[in-house]
A and B are shown apart, each in its own frame.
Chain A
Amino acid sequence: MNKIIFSFLLFITSFFQSSAQKVYATKTGQIYFNATGEAVKIEAVNNQVDSKFVESTGQIIFGVLVKGFKFENQLMEDHFNENYMESTKFPKADFKGFITNIKEVNFSKDGQYAINVDGTLTIHGVGNKTSTKGTMMIQNGVPTLKGEFKVDVKSFGINGSYIGGKIASEAILKVNCKY
């Protein structure tokens, strides 16, 4: 009798476990920023990307603090914060959207899966609809997401005399998040 009750309970718990919404999260994702224009390298990295996604629906969010972008050159970092991103006024940037083909990712099988992402990217207080392609790598059940956003700097209300010259008018954001 006890065995039957035990098996029944085991069945119930496994049922609830499998139906629970699985959320993957990290606070140490990476985003590389590159806006190299004519000659000088303009690159930075942010190692405190806060990101979450839901396995069943593909809903995904990335959040970053603009001051967390670290440049090799302190002066460049100061210009980036003060003159372009105005990071005191707009301290955060985020992306909210969906991995539209999440069903094609088999989280229990190691491998690399192509993903499509759709959503709204908000930088400098301006939100723009965007979509991109990326990859989801599964290794021992741990997903790593890689993707790239091309950002038309001016469409986010970021102005500066060097944009289009020394600074590329289209910046690249490379995402690399291990959950």
Chain B
Amino acid sequence: MFKKIIFSLFIIGIVLAAGVYYYVFVYAVNNKRQASDQVAIVIAADSLTAHFTNNESLANSKYLNKVLQVSGVILETGVNQEEKSTVTLGTEGAFSNVFVTFKNKELLKKGDIIIVKGFCNGFLSDVVLVDGIVVK
């Protein structure tokens, strides 16, 4: 009887340890948060920039780490050092705009109006969105 209890506890221990290992080292690697899975806050590029330039800490509390769906005119396209596409959305000549880095390479054109979804990381010289995907 005693042996059986020890044996069962041992099995339960192994299963638990395997479960924890799976969750921490396998599940958490294969299930990264995706902008496409989450409900986004919808906002225009210019008003997002205005929120950050007017009151950065308030804007941070509203948008930091949230998924945003931003619409705007493409002012500039580029690729970063990892060959992922980037765009700047907003108004030509404005001091700050919205800078988006996409998950993948995207074919985008200056002057087009697009809607993108991405995670808001905060504000440097522009509002920064990462892991972006093109909605429209």
Contact = CB atoms under 8 A, between A and B. Distances in A.
A125 to B, nearest CB: 13
A45 B121 CA distance: 14
For chain B, what secondary structure do more than half of its interface residues adopt (helix, strand, loop), or is it mixed? mixed
Interface string A32-52: 000000000000010110100
A72 B23 CA distance: 14
A27 B126 contact: yes
Contacts of A88: 60, 64-65
A30 B86 CA distance: 14
Interface in B4-38: 23-25, 28-29, 31-33
Contacts of A72: 29
Interface residues of A, number: 25
| SS class, residues of chain A in contact with chain B | strand
A28 interface: yes
A174 interface: no
Interface stretch (A3-11, A60-68, A162-170): A60-68
Contacts of B119: 67
B65 A48 contact: no
Interface in A77-114: 81, 88, 91-92
B124 A75 contact: no
Interface of B: 23-25, 28-29, 31-33, 60, 64-65, 78, 80-82, 84, 86, 99, 101, 119, 121-126, 128, 130
Interface of A: 27-30, 45, 47-48, 50, 63-65, 67-68, 70, 72-76, 81, 88, 91-92, 176, 178
